[in-house]
Structure 1
Amino acid sequence: MQVHARVFWLPKTGNTAEEYEDAFYPNRDGDYGGTQLRFAVADGASEGMLSGQWAQILVRAYCRAINTSQMPDLLARALPSWRDWKQHYLDLRERQGRPVMWFEEPGLEKGAFSTLLGLTLRDGDDPGWNATALGDSCMFQVRAGALVTAMPIDDAEAFGSRPFLIASNPARNNGLLERVHYATGDWQPGDRFYLMTDALAHWFVRECEAGATPWTAILAAEDPDAFDAWTATLKREHQIRNDDITLLCLEVAEDVP
């Protein structure tokens, strides 16, 4: 199985790249081959402190797992990485002469928060795909010009301002497992998968409900300059809100004779 991946990302208009709090993995465009390939996007929530880093840890935990996509196993990988990274962050602040201030301590105690959408493509004896999602980052599968799958949200009215989130503080994950969405399906050569965070996903679902084919607009914008101009137009026309934007485009290669 060969998959071509392209990723596009932008911080909120008016923010710097350092303030971008979404995450994606793998973190480069290119062709990926194997009998199991994993891809993920996540949206760090602004109500948490250091949520962008937590989102990065979550996508890596998903993509570097081998035999599981279950949330308890992913958290078992992610939480130790978070604790190590947080300690490194605190030590670095001390060495730089700017230790954590009293007003930052409640935020650190509360923790970081993020959505997660992970997709695994399988070939070999058990071909197909499975996806894991919590929150409003979404995956869409398109085949032969038609939408095959939308998950975990396929209703534009279901997008809201308070999605379910994964917390870096385990005490804040009560009820988390009941909110995780799992899905499975098949793939065919030529299928395209789109993984995206909520601002663009909301637009995508709304366009589908209106009878449009939003994947054609994405295909036309699959160039960095074109993507920047296209999303700027969507914001200017109030079709998407001003938020971090992440789009991971995957295409399963056609069979080679």
Structure 2
Amino acid sequence: MKVTIKGFLTCKRAEHYIDCADNYAVNKSSHRFSVSDGVSRSFFPKFWSEIVVTQFVERTDLSGNDLIKFCQEEWQKRIDKIVALPDTKWFTKSQYNRKDPALATFVGLQFFEKEKKWSASALGDSFLFFIPKDFKDFQNELVILSSKTVPIVFDNFPDYLTSIGDDHKGRPKEESGNLINGIFYLMTDAMAEWFIKEGENAIGEITVWQSQADFEKFISQANEENQMTNDDCAILCIELSEVEKNGIEYESEQVTKLHDLIANQEAEEERVKQKKQEEEKAKQEKESENPKDNKFDSSQYESTTKEGSAKEIKEVQLRKGFISKGMKTVKELFLGKEKEENIEAELPENNSDSEAENIDGQSSKQLEPVKESRGELETTPVENKSHGNDKNEETEKIEEAKVEKNESANLESKEQPNIDPKSKIVDKF
């Protein structure tokens, strides 16, 4: 009989492999295979699931409760070392003192070479599936092993093995059969839920996975398209062929190890970190080698900034000057007009007539001495004639002044309506 093994696993999206609680193990010498999913809400579940799968495939001398107790002792030893570390958090110590256990689901498969039989047991929502090579009816020929009852519902409360005491949840379900050509699939809950939902199409999808990269690409796409729950995923594919031949020959094995994934991820993170440090160091060295250029650039920037700021300040001052000048001009015009209107308002309506009368009175008074000395003027005809001309010229000037005054008054009355000075102030502002 020939056996081909493929195994892939990955962590939750946006998490690290070091936090992955899914584990599997393969032992070609004992022909044992196992998968386990550590329950995330328990105490150090990733160590518990790792110990369970490892000890199952290696300790062929133990079975049942004896194997479980041995696993519990191994888990306790590891936790004791962790808690004894000086940097252990207080809440970790608190859980340790309360004796909080780790929990994990489990599936174990074993081949019996001489008998050409297989035997398996399962507890929780980790599953075993087997499909014959030349199946004709997928649903009827598919073998499903799990402690979950039908109808199968995936939730956050699976059956489990506990790392402390005998308070396990549920009872393992066991099944066995003759070895025939076909494929065994051992997988944790997220993969099992997807497999059951997809049915026969899942077989074709799994066949395409030829590497860890293919598997990770599929899981990422399935999560983005909501075809699969975002969870740790682990799957073992064990294909049997030429079962009629005696013995078991492992033709190929392509099983990704979690420790390798953790190491590769940490190495990549360290590489990225070192690259950033080198880039930062090179940048600092470049700056230190060219201090003058840096100084020139900074001074040039500062001068440019200062010039820009001075220019902006000057523009603001100019705008303020224009505004203040405009306001001053408007104010002067307004106050001048208001003053003129107040003066005109104080004058009587017949201001022009009274002014003319005053001018006539003044001119008549000025002419009285002339009348008194009429006799003298009569004795000198030339002088009388000149005085008469002067009188006529003065009278004409007075008349012209009166006319001009009346015209200006009429013009102002036409140009500006009769508005109350207070209302003008309101309009102005």
Compute the TM-score of the two structures, normalised by the length of structure 2. Answer: 0.52
Gaps of 5+ in 2: 136-140, 247-429
Give 3-state SS (helix, strand or coil) of 1:172's partner.
Answer: coil
* 2:191 counterpart letter in structure 1: L
Contact 2:133 2:183 in 1 (8 A): no
The change in CA–CA distance for 1:171 and 1:118 in structure 2 (over 3 A counts) is: closer
Partners of 2:23 and 2:234 within 8 A in 1: yes
Taking the aligned partners of 1:130 and 1:171, their CA distance within structure 2 comes to 24
Pairwise CA distance, 1:106 = 4.0
- The structural deviation recorded for 1:223 is 2.1
The aligned counterpart of 2:186 is 195
Structure 2 CA distance for aligned equivalents of residues 68 and 184 of structure 1: 19
Q: Displaced runs of 4+ in structure 1, greater than 6 A? A: none
> What is the aligned counterpart of 1:167 among 162, 178, 199?
162
Q: CA deviation at 1:216?
A: 1.4
1:40 to 34, 41, 45: 34
- Alpha-carbon distance in structure 2 between the residues aligned to 1:141 and 1:220: 18
Q: 1:100: Cα distance to partner? A: 4.5
Map of 2:101 onto structure 1: 111
Judge conservation of contact 1:140–1:149 (CA < 8 Å) in 2: yes
Give the match for residue 207 of structure 2.
Answer: 219
Percent identical: 25
Within-5 A mapping of 1:77-88? 77-88=70-81
Partners of 2:211 and 2:150 lie apart in 1 by 28
Count of aligned positions: 237
**For residue 139 of structure 1, what is the aligned residue in structure 2?**
128
Q: Which residue of 2 aligns with 1:21?
A: 21
Larger helix fraction of residues: 2
Q: Distance in 2 between matches of 1:127 and 1:218?
A: 26
- Alignment of 1:239 with 2:227, yes or no, is yes
Maintained 8 Å contact 1:48/1:107? no
* Distance in 2 between residues matched to 1:253 and 1:69, nearest whole Å: 29
Specify the SS of the correspondent of 1:4: strand
The unaligned stretches of length 5 or more in structure 1 are none
Whether contact under 8 Å (1:139, 1:151) holds in the other structure is yes
Displacement, 1:3? Answer: 2.3
Higher mean displacement: 224-233 or 128-137: 224-233
- Report the AA paired with residue 17 of structure 1: Y
Whether the 8 Å CA contact 2:34–2:53 is kept in 1: the answer is yes
Whole-angstrom CA distance in 2 between matches of 1:218 and 1:106? 43
Greater length-normalized contact order (CA 8 Å, ≥ 6 residues apart): 1
**Aligned partner (choices 79, 82, 87) of residue 98 of structure 1:** 87
Give RMSD over aligned pairs.
2.2
Q: Secondary structure at the match of 1:185?
A: strand
What's the counterpart of residue 186 of structure 1? 178
Q: Is the 8 A contact 2:183 2:238 kept in 1?
A: yes
Q: Which amino acid aligns with 1:185?
A: G
| Bigger fraction of residues in strand | 1
Corresponding residue for residue 89 of structure 1 = 82
- Give 1:185 deviation, angstroms: 1.4
**8 A Cα contact 1:11 1:245, kept in partner:** yes
Q: Which has the larger radius of gyration?
A: 2
> What code does the residue aligned with 1:202 have?
E
| Corresponding letter in the other structure for 2:121 | T
Q: Is the 8 A contact 2:34 2:57 kept in 1?
A: yes
1:198–1:145 Cα change, 3 Å: farther
- The 2-side partners of 1:136 and 1:242 are apart by 16
Cα distance in 1 between the residues matched to 2:39 and 2:172: 17
> Do residues 127 (structure 1) and 116 (structure 2) align?
yes
Code of the aligned partner of 2:205: A
Q: Secondary structure at the match of 2:5?
A: strand
